[in-house]
C-alpha cells in the first residue's frame, strides 16, 4: 500500500511588508495527506504556527478550483509547481515524496511588489486591462443570438486566449519578467472576435504602452511563459500581438 | 512621426528594430560567406571579386555605412533591452531555473557580445591590417595592373593555427546566435504562426549550420593544406 501521509521540509520566503527585506525560513510540515492540495498543506502549517502564537504564512488564494487566478507561488523554482497546466491550488501533495524539501517563493518581478510573505501586488495587470482590455458596447436590447456570425475556428482560438486567468505565472517564469503572454492573451482574445475590431488598434497600443509603463521586461522569445502557463496559452498569441502592434503602429496618427 | 516613436521607444517596437537589423545582418553574413567561398574556385576568382568590390566605391561605401548603422542599431537596442530586463527583476529567485528555453536562447546576449568582439578583431585583421601588417601588402597582377592579393592574405592568415582557432570558435558562437536569432526575428515581427512555427525553427537551425560549415571550411581547408 502506498503512503497516505508524508513529512516535508519547507523553505518559505517570509517578508513582513513591502519595505522590509525578506528571508527564507524553514518549517517542518508533518503528517501531510497525499490528497491535500498544496494550499491545504500550507493551511495545516499555518494552523500549527497560529497555535504556537507565530505569524502564519501569508499567501494568495480564492476559488481553489483553478479558475480565479489568485493563487501563485514559485515552488522549487517553477511557477505553480512541477505539474503542467496546473495552478498551485490544483497541485496535490501526491506530486511530492515523503521527506522532500520544498522551496516556496513569491512571484519575483519589479511590477509585482511583495505585500507580505508570498503575497504580491498584481494590480499592474488590472491597470493594463483598464486601458484597453475590454470591448465598449452600447447598452440596449439584447442582440439576437446568432446575429453576429463568428467562424468556429475564430471562436475556438478566442476561447484559447480567453482562458487566461491573469495569475501572472508568465511574468514569474520569464527570465526578463515580461508580461507579453498576458497582454498577448487579452489582445488576442478580443482581437479575434468581431466585437473587438473597432477598438483593435487603440487597444493594442494602449495595453502595450501600459505594460511598458509598469516596468515589465522585454520578450526574448524563449517560451518559458507558455511552459508554465496553467492555461497553456501558446507562443502563437505573442506572435499575433507583435503583428497587431506593428499594424497599429504603422496606422497610428 | 507617431509611428517612429512607437517603433523606437516601445518594447515591441524595439524588438522590430532587433528583428529587421538582425535579418539584414544575417543576409550580409550569407553574402559575405558566398563571396569568400570563391577561394575554392581558385586564386583568380577570389582576387577578381575582391578587386571588383574595392574598385566599386559606389557599392562598397553604402554597404559599409549601412552595415555600420545596422550593427549599431542592433547592438545599442540589444543592450538597452537587456538592461531593462535586468531591472524588471531586482531580486532573483533562489536557484535560477529557466524553463523550456533553448541554450541558444539563453546565451543570445553572450554569443552576441562575443560576435561583436570578433567583428572588431576581424576588421583589425583583414581590413586595417593590425594583426598581421604584412597581409595588406601582398599584390598580384590583374589585367596588367597590380592589385591586392586577397587569396594570399587569407592563406597566410589562416595558416596560423591560433588565428584559425579564434575564427572557428567565433563561428560556433555566431551559429549559436543565429540558431535562436533567425527564428526569433519571425516571432518578433509576428510572422511566426503555428502553421510555420516548426518550419521557421528548422530554417533557423539549418541556415545557422550552413553558415558555420561554409565559413569554417576556409580555415580548415587552409590548415589541412587543401588550399595553398
What CATH number is attached to the domain comprising B199? 1.20.1300.10
CA nearest neighbour of A185 among A233, A226, A150, A229: A233
Task: Please report where in the chains the cell 504556537 appears, as a residue.
Answer: A52
Provide the chain A residues 50-79 that lie in CB contact (below 8 A) with chain B: 74, 77-78
Nearest by CB to residue A108, choosing from B12, B93, B190, is B93
Q: For the domain that residue A184 is a member of, what is the CATH number?
A: 1.10.1060.10
Query: How many CB pairs below 8 Å do chains A and B form together?
Result: 145
Helices (H) and strands (E) in chain B, counts: 9, 2
Q: Are residues A94 and A33 in the same domain?
A: yes
Q: CB distance B101–A222 less than 8 Å?
A: yes
Q: Are residues A194 and A175 in the same domain?
A: yes
CA nearest neighbour of B93 among A235, A95, A78: A78
Is A142 within a domain?
A: no
Distance from CA of A4 to the nearest CA of B (A): 30
Question: Chain A residue closest to B96 (CA)?
Answer: A77
Q: Hey, is the C-beta of A83 within 8 angstroms of any chain B C-beta?
A: no
Q: Report strand pairing: A101-105 vs A5-14.
A: parallel
Cα–Cα distances in angstroms (integers) from residue B68 to residues B21, B75, B108, in the given order: 11, 10, 20
Q: Which three cell numbers stand for residue A216?
A: 515589465
Q: Are residues A172 and A241 in the same domain?
A: yes
Q: Are residues A67 and A167 in the same domain?
A: no
Q: Are B195 and A248 in contact (CB under 8 A)?
A: no
Q: Which of A110, A218, A240 to mutate to test the interface with B (most CBs of B within 10 A)?
A: A218
Is A143 within a domain?
A: no
Q: Are residues A63 and A158 in the same domain?
A: no
What phi and psi, each to the nearest 5 degrees, are found at residue A68?
A: -95, -25
Q: Which of A240, A249, A253 to mutate to test the interface with B (most CBs of B within 10 A)?
A: A249
What phi and psi, each to the nearest 5 degrees, are found at residue B140?
A: -145, 150
Distance from CA of A75 to the nearest CA of B (A): 10
Q: For the domain that residue A100 is a member of, what is the CATH number?
A: 3.10.20.30
- The pLDDT score that the predictor gives to residue A137 is 81
Q: Hey, is the C-beta of A241 within 8 angstroms of any chain B C-beta?
A: yes
- The pLDDT score that the predictor gives to residue A2 is 61
Q: Are A71 and A82 in contact (CB under 8 A)?
A: no
Task: Please report where in the chains the cell 592574405 appears, as a residue.
Answer: B153
Contacts of A83 in chain B (CB under 8 A): none
Q: Are residues A32 and A153 in the same domain?
A: no
Q: Are residues A101 and A167 in the same domain?
A: no
Helix (H, G, I), strand (E, B) or coil at A33: strand
Q: What is the mean pLDDT of each run of 10 residues along chain A (253 residues)?
A: 85 96 97 96 98 97 96 96 96 96 97 98 98 89 85 96 98 97 98 95 98 97 96 98 97 89
Cα–Cα distances in angstroms (integers) from residue B50 to residues A109, B131, B145, in the given order: 52, 20, 14
Arithmetic mean of pLDDT over chain B: 95
ipTM score over 0.90, yes or no: yes
- DSSP strand E in A98-161: where? 101-105, 114-116, 119-120
- What sign does the CA torsion over A221, A224, A227, A230 have? negative
Q: Which three cell numbers stand for residue B33?
A: 560567406
The count of structural domains within chain A is 2
Q: CB distance A177–B89 less than 8 Å?
A: yes
Contacts of A217 in chain B (CB under 8 A): 84-85, 87-89
Nearest by CB to residue A217, choosing from B88, B92, B186, is B88
Q: CB distance B190–A244 less than 8 Å?
A: yes
Contacts of A192 in chain B (CB under 8 A): none
Q: CB within 8 A of A42, min separation 6: which ones?
A: A57, A59, A104
**What is the Cα Rg of chain A in Å?**
20
Would the pLDDT of B119 be above 50? yes
User: Domain containing B215: what range?
Assistant: 6-88+102-223
Helix (H, G, I), strand (E, B) or coil at A9: strand
Cα–Cα distances in angstroms (integers) from residue B206 to residues A168, A235, A253, B186, B221, in the given order: 35, 22, 41, 15, 22
- Which helix (DSSP H) or strand (DSSP E) does residue A74 occupy? strand A74-75
Q: CB distance B191–A205 less than 8 Å?
A: no
Q: Which three cell numbers stand for residue B210?
A: 550552413
What would the 3-class secondary structure string for B104-172 be? Answer: HHHCHHHHHHHHHHHHHHHHHHHHCCCCCHHHHHCEEEECCEEEECHHHHHHHHHHCHHHHHHHHHHHH
Q: Are residues A110 and A219 in the same domain?
A: no
User: Domain containing A20: what range?
Assistant: 5-115
Q: CA A127, CA A214: separation in Å to the nearest integer? A: 9
Is A78 within a domain?
A: yes
Provide the chain A residues 91-110 that lie in CB contact (below 8 A) with chain B: 103, 105, 108-110
Q: CA A104, CA A89: separation in Å to the nearest integer? A: 14
Is B228 within a domain?
A: no
The count of structural domains within chain B is 1
Q: CA B135, CA B160: separation in Å to the nearest integer? A: 13
Would the pLDDT of B95 be above 80? no
Distance from CA of A138 to the nearest CA of B (A): 30
Long-range contacts of B56-65 (CB under 8 A, 24+ apart): none
Q: Are residues A93 and A127 in the same domain?
A: no
Contacts of A111 in chain B (CB under 8 A): 88
Averaged over B149-172, what is the pLDDT? 97
- The pLDDT score that the predictor gives to residue B98 is 82
Q: Which three cell numbers stand for residue A175?
A: 527570465
Least-confidence region, from A222-231, B22-31, B78-87, B130-139: B130-139
Question: Chain A residue closest to B97 (CA)?
Answer: A77
Q: Are residues A83 and A180 in the same domain?
A: no
- The pLDDT score that the predictor gives to residue A123 is 98
Amino acid at each position: 500500500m502506498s503512503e497516505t501521509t508524508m513529512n516535508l521540509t519547507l523553505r518559505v520566503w517570509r517578508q513582513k511588508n513591502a519595505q522590509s527585506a525578506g528571508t527564507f525560513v524553514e518549517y517542518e510540515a508533518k503528517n501531510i495527506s497525499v490528497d491535500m492540495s498544496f494550499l491545504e498543506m500550507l493551511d495545516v502549517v499555518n494552523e500549527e504556527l497560529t497555535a504556537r502564537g507565530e505569524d502564519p504564512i501569508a499567501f494568495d488564494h480564492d476559488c481553489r478550483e483553478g479558475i480565479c487566478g489568485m493563487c501563485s507561488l514559485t515552488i522549487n523554482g517553477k511557477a505553480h509547481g512541477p505539474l503542467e497546466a496546473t495552478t498551485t491550488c490544483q497541485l496535490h501533495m501526491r506530486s511530492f515524496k515523503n521527506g522532500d524539501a520544498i522551496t516556496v517563493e513569491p512571484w519575483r518581478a519589479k511590477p509585482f511588489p511583495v505585500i507580505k510573505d508570498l503575497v504580491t501586488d498584481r494590480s499592474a495587470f488590472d491597470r493594463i486591462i483598464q486601458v484597453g482590455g475590454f470591448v465598449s458596447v452600447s447598452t440596449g436590447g439584447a442582440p439576437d443570438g446568432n446575429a453576429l456570425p463568428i467562424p468556429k475556428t475564430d471562436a475556438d482560438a478566442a476561447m484559447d486566449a480567453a482562458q487566461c486567468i491573469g495569475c501572472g505565472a508568465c511574468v514569474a517564469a520569464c527570465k526578463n519578467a515580461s508580461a507579453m503572454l498576458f497582454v498577448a492573451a487579452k489582445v488576442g482574445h478580443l482581437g479575434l472576435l468581431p466585437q473587438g475590431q473597432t477598438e483593435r488598434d487603440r487597444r493594442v497600443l494602449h495595453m502595450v504602452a501600459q505594460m511598458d509603463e509598469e516596468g515589465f521586461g522585454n520578450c526574448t522569445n524563449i517560451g518559458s511563459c507558455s511552459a508554465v502557463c496553467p492555461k497553456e496559452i501558446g507562443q502563437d498569441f505573442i506572435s499575433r500581438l507583435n503583428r497587431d502592434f506593428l499594424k497599429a503602429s504603422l496606422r497610428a496618427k | 512621426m507617431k509611428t517612429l516613436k512607437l517603433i523606437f521607444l516601445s518594447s515591441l517596437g524595439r524588438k522590430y528594430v532587433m528583428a529587421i537589423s538582425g535579418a539584414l545582418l544575417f543576409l550580409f553574413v550569407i553574402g559575405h560567406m558566398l563571396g569568400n567561398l570563391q577561394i575554392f574556385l581558385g586564386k583568380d576568382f577570389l582576387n577578381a571579386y575582391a578587386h571588383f568590390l574595392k574598385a566599386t566605391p559606389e557599392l562598397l561605401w553604402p554597404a559599409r555605412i549601412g552595415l555600420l548603422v545596422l550593427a549599431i542599431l542592433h547592438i545599442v537596442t540589444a543592450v538597452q533591452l537587456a538592461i531593462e530586463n535586468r531591472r524588471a527583476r531586482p531580486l532573483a529567485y533562489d536557484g535560477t531555473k529557466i524553463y523550456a528555453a533553448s541554450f541558444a536562447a539563453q546565451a543570445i546576449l553572450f554569443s552576441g557580445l562575443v560576435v561583436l568582439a570578433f567583428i572588431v578583431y576581424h576588421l583589425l585583421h583583414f581590413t586595417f591590417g593590425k594583426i598581421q601588417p604584412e597581409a595588406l601588402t601582398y599584390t598580384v597582377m590583374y589585367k596588367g595592373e597590380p592589385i591586392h592579393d586577397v587569396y594570399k592574405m587569407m592563406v597566410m592568415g589562416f595558416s596560423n593555427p591560433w588565428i584559425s582557432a579564434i575564427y572557428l570558435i567565433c563561428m560556433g558562437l555566431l551559429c549559436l546566435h543565429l540558431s535562436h536569432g533567425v527564428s526569433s526575428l519571425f516571432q518578433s515581427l509576428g510572422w511566426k504562426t503555428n502553421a510555420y512555427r516548426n518550419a521557421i525553427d528548422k530554417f533557423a537551425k539549418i541556415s545557422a549550420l550552413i553558415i558555420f560549415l561554409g565559413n569554417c571550411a576556409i580555415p580548415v581547408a587552409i590548415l589541412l593544406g587543401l588550399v595553398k
